[in-house]
Amino acid sequence: MVLNKFYDKFIFSNNLRYKENNFYLLNTPFVMLPVRLLGSLLRNETPQFVQSLYDSVKKTTLENLTKEFLQEGEMDPKKMLEFFETYFTASGFGFLQNIDFDLEQKHAMVTLTNNPLVGRMDFFSELPIDHIMRGVLAGLFSKAMKTSLECVETQCSVFKKFNACRFMIKPLGEFDIENKETRRQLNFEKVLVSFA
């Protein structure tokens, strides 16, 4: 069986299995599903739902996903991020690429080309909508940089003029609170209270 270079390694080492009607990658269960099911979550643009979805995905990524895939002990932040960049790309999330990473400043800029969640939507939004990937990136980079970071989607490919989604990751206090879209995505009042 040949899937792609990333998954082939796990297939041949018997770390990708199907047992008891479930798929497992490194003993972590996962499912395959049509992107429209996940994409349907992105239709709801109410601020409360957007913040709740983002917070939930960030927390799960930070507390569970990184622990399930990574072995105990310290891992070089760049290697950890490269692993997850490869994992999400190989898993069909589009081409995830870290285009700017500054460990010292705790900043990153990430692009996602061919994003299936927004690229195949049957609706149009005038706002960036990939709050699932925002939460994933905030969790991954918070884990890698050992500090709480937030993520804002600064460019969304749901607007047909862009060929990629772009995400900015950095500490909350470094985002422009005056920017209306940043405030919509981060909900500063709630985030400031929760990390105080």
CATH number assigned to the domain comprising residue 176: 3.30.1380.20
Domain shared by 23 and 51, yes or no? no
**Alpha-carbon span 180 to 18, nearest angstrom:** 46
Domain shared by 82 and 46, yes or no? yes
Domain shared by 22 and 42, yes or no? no
Q: For residue 104, how many C-alpha atoms fall within 13 Å in the half-sphere facing its CB?
A: 0
Query: What local confidence, expressed as pLDDT, does residue 192 receive?
Result: 44
Burial class (CB in 10 A: 0-12, 13-18, 19+), 102: exposed
Query: What local confidence, expressed as pLDDT, does residue 159 receive?
Result: 62
Domain shared by 25 and 43, yes or no? no
From residue 21, give the alpha-carbon distance in Å to each of 8, 11, 17, 68: 20, 17, 10, 20
Domain shared by 93 and 107, yes or no? yes
- The count of structural domains within the chain is 2
Domain shared by 39 and 102, yes or no? yes
Query: What local confidence, expressed as pLDDT, does residue 11 receive?
Result: 80
Domain shared by 87 and 107, yes or no? yes
Closest CA to 170 of 80, 112, 101: 101
For the beta sheet containing 16-19, the strands, ordered from the edge strand earlier in sequence to the opposite edge, are: 16-19, 22-25, 28-30
From residue 190, give the alpha-carbon distance in Å to each of 51, 183, 185: 9, 11, 11
pLDDT in 10s for each residue of the chain, 196 residues: 556 888 888 887 888 888 888 888 877 888 887 877 777 777 777 888 889 999 999 999 988 888 777 665 567 888 889 988 998 898 888 899 988 989 899 999 999 998 887 766 666 667 788 899 999 999 999 998 989 999 999 988 766 566 788 999 999 999 998 998 898 888 766 544 343 3
From residue 77, give the alpha-carbon distance in Å to each of 17, 73, 143: 28, 12, 8
Query: What local confidence, expressed as pLDDT, does residue 132 receive?
Result: 92
Query: What local confidence, expressed as pLDDT, does residue 179 receive?
Result: 92
Domain boundaries, position 81? 34-194
Domain shared by 18 and 38, yes or no? no
Domain shared by 142 and 190, yes or no? yes
What sign for the dihedral angle of Cα 149, 150, 154, 155? positive
- The reported pTM is 0.86
Domain shared by 99 and 155, yes or no? yes
Domain shared by 147 and 85, yes or no? yes
Domain shared by 43 and 28, yes or no? no
